Amino acid sequence: MTLLILGIVPLIIWAGLLAAHGGFWKADQRDDLTPPLHPAEWPSAVAVVPARDEADVIARSVGSLLAQDYPGDFRVILVDDNSSDGTAEAARAEAQRLGRADRLQVLSGEPLAAGWTGKLWAVHQGTLKAEESKPKYLLLTDADIGHTPDNLRTLVCRAEQGGLVLTSLMAELHCKTRAERFLIPAFVFFFQMVYPFPKVNRPGPAAAAAGGIMLADREALKAAGGIAAIRKALIDDCALGALMKRQGPIWLGLTHRAVSLRPYETVGEIGRMVSRSAYAQLDYSPIKLVGVVLGMLLVYIAPIAAILLGPPFLLPGLITYLLMALSFQPMLRFYKVSPLWGFALPAIGAAYTVFTVQSAVQMWRGKGGLWKGRAQAIT
């Protein structure tokens, strides 16, 4: 029985994941591999940016939006969610500096309504304002994302060519510090394991999105019930992905055209970022939490235990460990970090297990989804 648990079962699990889980590990759903064709006419678009105390990054983020080389009608709505650090003023100053003040509209957010998470309440207000001009597309993007000048153009091309109701990009996260190299590529790797991008991008029930960059067809979003339909969601991007896939095809991919502007200096900072929503991913279920912890131990820790125990556990443990490390290589290449980090995946998996437990503890203490002074978890 010990051989089965420590040696054979993890090997079967990893073989199954690599062979029959949508090829999630290949990292081949990217916006730079198959450039879409330009549409005959460029539809109108409005970016909606929710921002709460983002003065340190908002100029770079809004500035990159205002500098888009998009040929069609495009403007930006910034929803200042009761910031206390001059976020709105910094955005306006950058728009003036770029000579694009006419493209930027700043809304002062209303106080948080009951039954809403803070971000979605701000996005809701922005989409209602955008509705006045009836654009074809709404670009829902975070205040800490920087965009290359061609990002919107490429997004719209893909959406128009594929008839997509939602086109989403997983922004390239900041990955310079040692803590980031240790944990950030795995963050995307684990996300892809839960939501295999190839399955998301095909017809079927699998659905997800990445909240940093989501280009939504306005009419399809309206038909789906708008942002109000997901107003309680802490993992709002995947909730929106599921909502929109019921309206039509969606697409999710990796990109270098949009980057996170916020660095994470320490493991603790990354842990807090993960813990904000990890327990929500488990539907706030203690039973699912126990299952995930046991599963992580079986998948990531058991192969190392098998190697340390030696024969007859050594060979299956080594094979599993190598499969694990090899599966991580495409994501490590995408982030341009050493392939040797693949051999750290058991330790990385252990760290994410701790973050998930921390997320549950925060929820039990009434601090679930804590962000910018708000506990946002709504059950």
Per-residue pLDDT tens for 321-353? Answer: 999 999 999 999 999 999 999 999 999 999 999
Reported as a pLDDT band with limits 50, 70 and 90, residue 375 is low
Domains of the chain: 2-25+268-375 (no CATH), 26-264 (3.90.550.10)
Q: What is the dihedral of CA 132, 135, 140, 144, to 10 degrees?
A: -90
368 vs 55 pLDDT, higher one: 55
Contact 359/286 with Cβ under 8 angstroms? no
Contacts of residue 161, Cβ cutoff 8 Å, sequence gap at least 6: 36, 37, 39
Q: What is the CA radius of gyration of the chain?
A: 21
- Other C-beta atoms closer than 10 Å to the C-beta of 82 total 17
The model's pTM is 0.93
Per-residue pLDDT tens for 51-79? Answer: 999 999 999 999 999 999 999 999 999 99
137 vs 282 pLDDT, higher one: 137
DSSP 244-262: HHTTS-EEEEEEEEEEE--
When mean pLDDT is compared across 10-24, 210-224, 275-289, 294-308, the lowest value belongs to: 275-289
Q: What is the pLDDT of residue 38?
A: 84
The average pLDDT across 362-373 equals: 70
Helix (H, G, I), strand (E, B) or coil at 118: helix
Reported as a pLDDT band with limits 50, 70 and 90, residue 355 is very high
User: Encoding tokens for residue 43?
Assistant: 């539809």
35 vs 285 pLDDT, higher one: 285
CA 199 to chain centre: 16
Per-residue pLDDT tens for 264-305? Answer: 989 999 999 888 888 888 889 999 999 999 999 999 999 999
Residue 373 confidence (pLDDT) above 80: no
Reported as a pLDDT band with limits 50, 70 and 90, residue 362 is confident
